[in-house]
Chain A
C-alpha cells in the first residue's frame, strides 16, 4: 500500500514537473478549411515536441487583423505566432514588429518557397513570415455554358473575351448570370478585385510621387468596364456580394464565370458542396495586352511578433506547419487535394498532387503571373498587387471601395465615384505626409 502511494506520488510529482516545464505558445489564426485542418493535425507536432503546448485562437479575418494589430502595436504579448497576410508583412517588418525567420531548421528548404510568394514576405532579403497557403486569382467558368454559347475559353483570356462570353452566357430567364464579381465594399473585398483588374488596364493607385491617379483615363476605363459588365451580365444586388456570396451563386449554377481567389477552386470542384463540380474550367485572369494580368497574390502566413518570450518554440512550430513534411502529413491523412496550395514549388512538381488537383497548374501559373514588387504597367513607389503596402491603405482602400460599390449599385456615376476617390486619396496622402 505504501509502495503504491509512493509510486502515485512520484508519478504526480513528475507530471507536475513536466507541466511546469512545458512551454505553451498561443497561435492566432483565421477560420478556413486549411487552418482548421492544421489544428486537427497538431498531434504530429506535439509528439515530436512534447515540451511545447499549443493554444489556438481562431477569429474571423477582420477581427483577427484588428486583434493582432492592436496586440503587436502595443506590444501586448498575447500571441507567439500570428497568421497575417502579404499586406501586413512588409509594413510590420519595417517597423521591427516581426522576428526574421532564420531558425527554421536545416531541412526546411527555404528556396523551395515559390519566389513570387517569398518576395511578398521578405524585406531586404530576409523572410519575416512563412507562407501557410498562397493564392492568386483566376477565372472559373462553366464549361457546359461556354460550349452552349459557342465559345472556347482560352488559357489566357482578354477582358474583351470575358465581356463577349458573359453577354452570351447570360440567361436571366433561367437565373444564369454571365459573370459574378465582387462588389461588396472593403479594401480586401471589391478593392482587391478592382485594384488587380486596374493593373491590367494600365492604371495605378499612385504615381512615383504618391500623387493619386484616379483622375487618369486608365482608372475611368477600369471602373466603367466593370460597372457596364456587371450591369449587363452580373447578378442582382452585386454591390453586396463578396467571396462567400459569389461562391454560393457559382455552386448553385447561377454564374457563367467567376473571377476570384484560386482557393475557391477546391470548393467549386467539390461534388459534396457544388452542383456544378464536374463542369468547371479554369483560365488565367484576363488582361488587355498591356503586360499585366488582373490577378492578385496573397499568402496567409505565420509570423512571430518581436515581443514574444518564446521565439524558439514559436519558430519550431512555424517550421513544422509550413514544411514539406506537413504537406506529406496532410496528404497521408486527407489526400493530396487537401494539401495547402500555393507555397512550395515541390508540391507542383508532385505528380500525385497534379492528378488530385486539376486546378494545380493554373494556380501555379496565376501565382507566377503576379509580381508584387512590379505590380503595374507604369512605375509605382509601392509594393503589393491588389493593395498598396502602406498603413493608410486599409482605411483609404475601404473608403474608395465604398465609393466604387455605390457606383455599381447605381447610387452615383462612375465619374463622381472617381472624383471622390481622387479627393479622398489626396487628403489621406497629404495627411500621411506622402505629398508635401
Chain B
C-alpha cells in the first residue's frame, strides 16, 4: 500500500516537474519554432508546426556576420569569468577562513550593489570608460562584466569554502605550506566542484548580460546581445528573423548548459539542505 502511494506520489511529482519545465522552456521552444517560419507565417497567430524554411537564418547571416559577435561573446564571458575567479577566490577564502565581525556585513554590502538599477550609474560608468579609452573595447567590457558578477561569485565561493573543514588547511599550514600553496594545492582542488559550477553560472550570466554589453560597445566588442538587438524593430514585423537571431544567440549557451546541467544543479544546491 505504502509502495503504491509512493509510486503514485512519484508519478504526480514527475508530471508536475515536466509541466513546470515545459512552461518555463516554452518561450524558448516557440522562438526556435518561429525561426523556421516565414515572416507571414510568424504573424498568423499561434502555430506549433513551422513550414521549415531556413530563409530567416540565411538572411540573418547575410546581414550581420554572426561569428564576429559569437567570438566576442565567448571572449567576454570566459574572460570575465576567469578575471572574477582570480579576484573572488582569495576574497572568499579570507572571508570563509578568517572571518571578522564585519564579514557578514561586507558580504551583504557586496550583494546590495546588485540591487541597484544599472541605468542609475550609466553616465558615470560611460564617462569613466570614455576617459580611459575603454569604450567599445573587449578588455573594458570584460572588466565591467567581471565587476557586475563579482558579488555572486564571491557569495557562491564563500558558501562552498565554508563547507571545507578549516582543520585541513591548518594541517597544511603545520606541514609548512605557504598561503599561496595552501590556496592552490589544498583549497582549490577540494573546491573544484564548487568553482566549476560558479564558473558555469558566471559564464551564463555574462553571456546573457544585455545592458552594458549593448551600451558600452559599437562594433569591435559587440557580442551576441547587440546582434539580437539589431533585429528588433518597432516599425515592421520581422519576428521570424528576430527569432532566428535569438536562436543563434542562445544555442551555444543552451548546449553548454545542457551538457553541464549536473554540475550546475549540484553547485547551485550545494549547502542548501542544512
Contacts from A to B (Cβ < 8 Å): 26, 28, 30-33, 36, 39-40, 55-63, 66-67, 70, 74-79, 188, 242-244, 247-248, 251-252, 261, 263, 267, 272-273
Residues of B whose CB lies within 8 Å of any CB of A are 39-40, 43-45, 63-64, 122-123, 126-127, 130, 135-136, 214-215, 218-219, 222, 226, 229-238
CB distance from A341 to the nearest CB of B (A): 13
In the complex, are the beta carbons of B130 and A60 less than 8 A apart? Answer: no
* Chain A: minimal CB distance from B72 (Å): 14
Which residue of B126, B136, B219, B232 is within 8 Å of A31 (Cβ)? B232
> Which 5 interchain pairs have the tightest Cβ spacing?
A58-B230, A60-B232, A31-B233, A55-B219, A248-B43
List residues of chain A with CB within 8 A of the CB of B226. Answer: 57, 59
Contacts of B122 in A (CB 8 A): 70
User: Main secondary structure on chain A at its contact with chain B?
Assistant: mixed
- Interface contact B237-A267, CB-CB below 8 Å: yes
Can you list 15 A-B pairs with a CB-CB distance of less than 8 A?
Answer: A28-B218, A31-B230, A31-B233, A31-B238, A57-B219, A57-B222, A59-B214, A60-B230, A60-B234, A61-B234, A70-B122, A78-B135, A78-B218, A252-B44, A267-B236
Q: A31-B233, A70-B215, A261-B235 are in contact. List 18 more A-B contacts (CB 8 A).
A: A28-B218, A31-B230, A32-B233, A57-B230, A59-B226, A59-B229, A59-B230, A60-B234, A61-B234, A63-B232, A70-B122, A70-B123, A74-B127, A78-B136, A244-B237, A267-B236, A273-B40, A273-B43
Q: B235: which A residues are within 8 A, CB to CB?
A: 32, 61, 243-244, 261, 263
B130–A76 CB distance below 8 A: yes
| Nearest residue, chain B, Cβ from A70 | B126
Contacts of B44 in A (CB 8 A): 252
Whether the pair B233, A63 counts as a contact (CB closer than 8 A) is: no
A153 to chain B: closest CB distance in Å?
24
- Shortest CB–CB separation between residue A83 and chain B, in angstroms? 13
Residues of B within 8 A of A247 (CB): 236-237
B233's nearest neighbour on chain A, judged by CB, is A31
- A26–B43 touching, CB < 8 Å: no
* Residues of B with C-beta under 8 A to A61: 233-235
Q: Would B237 and A248 count as touching, CB distance under 8 A?
A: yes
Enumerate chain B residues within 8 angstroms of A56, measured Cβ to Cβ. Answer: 219
Contact of A244 among B123, B219, B234 (CB under 8 A): B234
Q: Which of B39, B63, B215, B218 contacts A66 (CB 8 A)?
A: B215
Give the residues in chain B near A242, CB-CB below 8 Å.
234
Q: Is the CB of A243 within 8 A of B215?
A: no
